[in-house]
Amino acid sequence: MPVKTTAAKKAPKPSSEEKAPTKKVQKGEDSDKKVKASPELLRGFRDILPEEQGRWNFVRDTVRLVAEAYSFDRIDLPILERSDLFLRTIGKGTDIVEKEMYVFSDPSGRAVALRPEATASVARSYINHGMIDRPQPVKLWYEGPMFRHDRPQAGRYRQFHQVGFESFGVDEPIVDAQLIVLGVQIFRDLGLNVKVQINSIGTPECRHAYLAELVAYFRQHRSKLCEDDKRRLQKNPLRILDSKDEITLELLDGAPQILDWLDEKSKEHFMKVLEFIEEVEVPFELNPYLVRGLDYYSHTVFEFVLIEDDGGKSQNALGGGGRYDGLIGALGGRETPACGFALGVERIVRALAQAEIDPPQRPQPYVFFAQLGDAARRVGLRLFEEFRQAGIPVAEAFGKNALKAQLEAANKLGVELTLILGQKEVLDGTVIIRDMESGAQEIVDVKKVVQIVQKKLKSKEGVAPTTQSPVSDT
């Protein structure tokens, strides 16, 4: 029996762009023709093309290095989970659960969801694997695709990628501070200028008292609110603070602020977090309206926003997170404090492109292998492997036949040496080494060529071959 959920029912109707491409086929027309309409991507989904991978790898590599430096262990989690995991954690009244989840029944009729975020999954995994019995804090990081049926626009996709960090088991403010510093460090290493927007939403108890006050305030102005904010006022009043509506924004000036409702312990926690991050000169801004779009937070909440060159105007958050001390308990685990954040990779890659920050160049290959004929190709395949094992990057153009075209490719790559192998050399068991700078050529024993090239490269100033993946110009 297919299971229907509220979220599935409320999913917006597909727009005309989203409908499957159809093509009218005349009666008797070959049914193959139906297939010929070019396939289209779903709206909000995108390919990450080879030419974009440089910046993507730059982000992934930077994140991995920072994660290792701060002793976070990697965790990989399923993309598909039981949908109730997200209903119970992110919260029923949130936009993500109400409108954006990809929920469907799997073939056995179970309600499942493509994960809209990964914190709930990490928390599930922490409980499932008894990580509470490990030395605390348990510090985990992850990367991967997330899915939200959001309205696509610049920097907002339906499949997007996050890298995330979660720390379980310690409720000290230093944990929140260190996570914020770690996040800022990633942006610094990438060359992006960010500031941290920060707030505290206290414990559920102080939030409860604050919400009563907030609702009373906005009820007086209910008639001025837009439909969305009227709905928020009823279902999830804290989200009113996040409204983009101009009238609500004006009303917010006179609204009660959550910081005034924090109990002593929450205040102390927050002050310490601020002191710590101030100490290490993290640029931050207190934002009393920052509440975040997920229900599981308590105490510190924060977002990383870009400081644009044009005088500090911020745009979409590049990442966000906070403390979520109640989440493990809400999922049935033993009460465990936790804190974390996630960054949106698409938004970071876009910011890098806008700031014209190029990823570090892939090291140039030092040697090019040029061949003439199939016998030479066969030897070439073996030689290529020998060079790779010796840690010398070799480029080739096995797909090209003419020597002239291959030498042109070698020139374009700016290699130091080209190895030339023709039929005669294959028969003689030799190979020609051509110095691309001087044009000098020498014939050497094919069995010794790796060794000879190694020596030549060592003697060339500033050339220190490292192991890396070979480049192909085929």
Residue 144 binds ligand HAM, judged by CB under 6 A: no
Position among 81, 166, 416, 473 found at the interface with ligand HAM (CB under 6 A): 166
Separation of CA 208 from chain center: 34
Task: List the x/- string, 272-311, binding to ligand HAM by CB under 6 A.
Answer: ---------------------xx-----------------
Contact region with ligand HAM (CB under 6 A), list: 20-28, 150-158, 228-236, 252-260? 150-158
Q: Which is nearer to ligand HAM, 243 or 418 (CB)?
A: 243
Q: Which two three-digit tokens encode residue 54?
A: 């440089």
Residue 317 binds ligand HAM, judged by CB under 6 A: yes
Residue 342 binds ligand HAM, judged by CB under 6 A: yes
Position among 340, 380, 393, 465 found at the interface with ligand HAM (CB under 6 A): 340
Least Å distance, CB 11 to ligand HAM, is 15
Q: Which two three-digit tokens encode residue 259?
A: 């910081």
Position among 11, 93, 136, 150 found at the interface with ligand HAM (CB under 6 A): 150
Q: Which is nearer to ligand HAM, 74 or 455 (CB)?
A: 74
Number of residues that bind ligand HAM (CB under 6 A): 26
Say if CB 109 and CB 94 are below 8 A apart: no
Q: Which is nearer to ligand HAM, 90 or 376 (CB)?
A: 90
**Distance, CA of 466 to CA of 363 (rounded, Å):** 9
Element (H, E) at 433: strand 430-435
* DSSP track, 352-408: HHHTTPPPPPPPPPSEEEEE-SHHHHHHHHHHHHHHHHTT--EEE-TT---HHHHHH
Q: Which is nearer to ligand HAM, 317 or 407 (CB)?
A: 317
Residue 321 binds ligand HAM, judged by CB under 6 A: yes
Least Å distance, CB 117 to ligand HAM, is 3
What are the CA-CA distances from residue 229 to residues 168, 233, 347, 383 (Å)? 34, 6, 27, 68
Element (H, E) at 213: helix 204-220
Instruction: Point out which residues pair with 216 in neighbouring strands.
Output: none
Three-state DSSP class for 258? helix
Q: Which is nearer to ligand HAM, 182 or 370 (CB)?
A: 182
Least Å distance, CB 440 to ligand HAM, is 54
Residue 148 binds ligand HAM, judged by CB under 6 A: yes
Contact region with ligand HAM (CB under 6 A), list: 220-228, 265-273, 335-343, 422-430? 335-343
Nearest to 159 by CA among 45, 15, 76: 45
What are the CA-CA distances from residue 96 to residues 43, 154, 261 (Å)? 18, 18, 27
Residue 341 binds ligand HAM, judged by CB under 6 A: yes
Q: What is the dihedral of CA 26, 27, 33, 37, to 10 degrees?
A: 50
DSSP label of 447: G
Residue 160 binds ligand HAM, judged by CB under 6 A: yes
Residue 164 binds ligand HAM, judged by CB under 6 A: yes
**Burial annotation 232-257 (CB, 10 A radius, 16+ → b, else e):** bbeebbbbbbbbebeebeebbeebee
Q: Which residues from 101-130 bind ligand HAM, rule CB under 6 A?
A: 117, 119
**Distance, CA of 429 to CA of 448 (rounded, Å):** 10
SS3 content of the chain, % helix, strand, coil (to 5): 40, 20, 40
Locus of tokens 């309205």 = 151
Residue 319 binds ligand HAM, judged by CB under 6 A: yes
Q: Which two three-digit tokens encode residue 23?
A: 């093509």
Q: Which is nearer to ligand HAM, 156 or 272 (CB)?
A: 156
Tell me which residue has its CB nearest to ligand HAM.
344
Interacting residues toward ligand HAM by CB under 6 A:
117, 119, 148, 150, 155-157, 160, 162, 164, 166, 293-294, 317-322, 324, 340-342, 344, 346-347
